[in-house]
Structure 1
């Protein structure tokens, strides 16, 4: 039995979301094929499939279940069925004896507050439920009515709901007008939520203009990481690729936080010269100053290689005759670790 079959057997509807690199829907067919070992997980992250499973029964209004599961993957990103089966057995015991304490379910995890807020926003929309009271407060703030410095009263939930409903209530225009006026803390939270959406042309331009202001004032690593995440799914591909190039050219891009954001969120634009530029900065990351740069390089490259199509592109970049000596040295460190691991397995 699979998770999908268990839910459908109960008469409930199901919706699957990936929560690894960003929050986005996974089709029922793709997830069913994944569970049946017919295809690998489409967006692996740290050797796992991080999923949010939302189920509800149309005949039982107001009743729904949410599971957050971290399912282990093998080297080809296929499901390792044992842990999933342990979760199903746990859930069947809960159903059979709901009054008994069964402990924490296998494979379960708790998303951080920001992800939880955005997932809740998506769940409300999926279930056809109204927004929370925080939605109107956040919209009032973003319109400038409350004063830009009065952001402490805002809840994460309200900002998440505004981004989740970009296509409603003129929210995209509202964000376009607000993003350049907001203080750093709420702005970066908002930018983080945008990684889950698809900003249109006007909002993309507004975010880029705001980035220009931030760069002129001297950005921190958290700023550049937030902007990179915000436009990683923008419909304006050319603009987001120019943003990526600008971030890589900035000295702060050596930060592990920035490099991790670029690798985990912007991989779709990491190809050709942009990929080589990313690898060059990654090989010279800030931890290199402490003698630990190779660990960061190996970890982020290994994660990138698990994504569909990225392994071949990375290996091609490794063979580029224009690569620097520093990148060549980092590649050598990576190959040494791979060879050592292969020798240990043998």
Structure 2
């Protein structure tokens, strides 16, 4: 048997079932074809974070119960174009190939992570979101407090207090929430205390809602509650629907704060795949002296879907604009 040249090849040869998840800007499933193409250096990573492709790979040997799955959390370094830098991955593959004859499963699958420079430990929120999505995909039941979280957020009469819940139960419910429950939740957003609303919003940043009533409820709460404004904005701007894009435009219509500009980049960047919105956003960050314009632009340009639009917007910046002034201030090479 030939040595595997990618992790995808290794999983095939070792007869391991592998489900890949993004752990970068959002926690969500990664298409297997995209991961393979990335490994084969045929495409840039679609969701880079600080120069890395952060993934979780949920593994279990074929024919074994899904409950025996283990998780690899790996951060692959990227080059300036968002492509894989293969050397660290290749070193990891060599370690794996040494154990390939054992057809690893269970705890043996964790051995290659020991002292592995690619491995990292995600924060608790990320792990809760990962477990919730992986358990649903693998057909496993949610956590024990799932029903309590559902009852609390939908306002059922016998709901427990917020204090009895945890991040895992909230993540499990958000992953499995249907449209009818989202509409019921929309009616509860205005009355939710700060802590449970913030927890909900942190989940919705990664699990964007397409329910217009919920997006409108978050917008209204953001407008009336300054202390929860940023949390609500992060959740609603993550949504792909037109109402969320309209909120981004409303933010740009006024003097956008540094915090709001950061939220747009982190959670609403997909709404910048629009020539006018992108140009206005770049002008806004150019007008913010507290922001490092170069780093902000570089962060956006790392996203493959925005790289060319950003380059074109910079090239077409009008004379006298803040963007043109910032570009003129850059050192000449």
Which category describes the TM-score, using the shorter chain as reference length? 0.7 to 0.9
Aligned counterpart, 1:193: 203
The CA deviation string for residues 280-332 of structure 1, in whole angstroms up to 9 with x for no partner, is 221233xx2xxx53x2x221210111222423322333345657643333233
Tell whether 2:47 aligns with 1:43.
yes
Tell me: CA distance 1:128–1:309, structure 2 relative to 1, closer, same or farther (3 Å): closer
TM-score, normalising length: structure 1: 0.82
Aligned counterpart, 1:316: 312
The unaligned stretches of length 5 or more in structure 1 are none
Match of 2:9 among 5, 16, 38: 5
Q: Distance in 2 between matches of 1:324 and 1:254?
A: 22
Q: Distance in 2 between matches of 1:22 and 1:36?
A: 23
Aligned counterpart, 1:272: 275
Q: Distance in 2 between matches of 1:68 and 1:31?
A: 14
Q: What is the Cα-based RMSD across aligned positions, in Å?
A: 2.9
Give the match's secondary structure for 1:133. coil
Aligned counterpart, 1:27: 31
Contact 1:204 1:231 in 2 (8 A): no
Aligned-pair CA distance for 1:132: 0.6
Aligned-pair CA distance for 1:150: 4.1
Match of 1:307 among 303, 309, 315: 303
Aligned counterpart, 2:294: 298
Aligned counterpart, 1:82: 87
Aligned-pair CA distance for 1:102: 7.5
Q: Distance in 2 between matches of 1:147 and 1:250?
A: 43
Match of 1:224 among 216, 220, 230: 230
TM-score, normalising length: structure 2: 0.84
Q: Distance in 1 between matches of 2:113 and 2:41?
A: 28
The CA deviation string for residues 91-131 of structure 1, in whole angstroms up to 9 with x for no partner, is 45677795989843221122222111110101111221111
Q: Distance in 1 between matches of 2:178 and 2:31?
A: 21
Aligned-pair CA distance for 1:135: 0.9
Aligned-pair CA distance for 1:67: 0.7
Q: For residues 1-346 of structure 1, what are the structure 2 equivalents within 5 Å?
A: 1=4, 2-61=6-65, 62-92=67-97, 103-145=114-156, 150-167=161-178, 170-200=180-210, 203-217=211-225, 219-220=226-227, 223-224=229-230, 226-234=232-240, 236=241, 238-251=242-255, 253-255=256-258, 257-270=259-272, 271-285=274-288, 288=289, 292-293=290-291, 295=292, 297-320=293-316, 325-333=321-329, 335-336=330-331, 339=332
Q: Distance in 2 between matches of 1:93 and 1:110?
A: 24
Alignment coverage as a number of residue pairs: 321
Tell me: CA distance 1:100–1:298, structure 2 relative to 1, closer, same or farther (3 Å): closer
Q: Distance in 1 between matches of 2:21 and 2:48?
A: 13
Aligned-pair CA distance for 1:231: 3.9
Q: Distance in 1 between matches of 2:191 and 2:295?
A: 37
Q: Distance in 1 between matches of 2:158 and 2:26?
A: 31
Q: Distance in 2 between matches of 1:318 and 1:280?
A: 10
Give the match's secondary structure for 1:120. helix
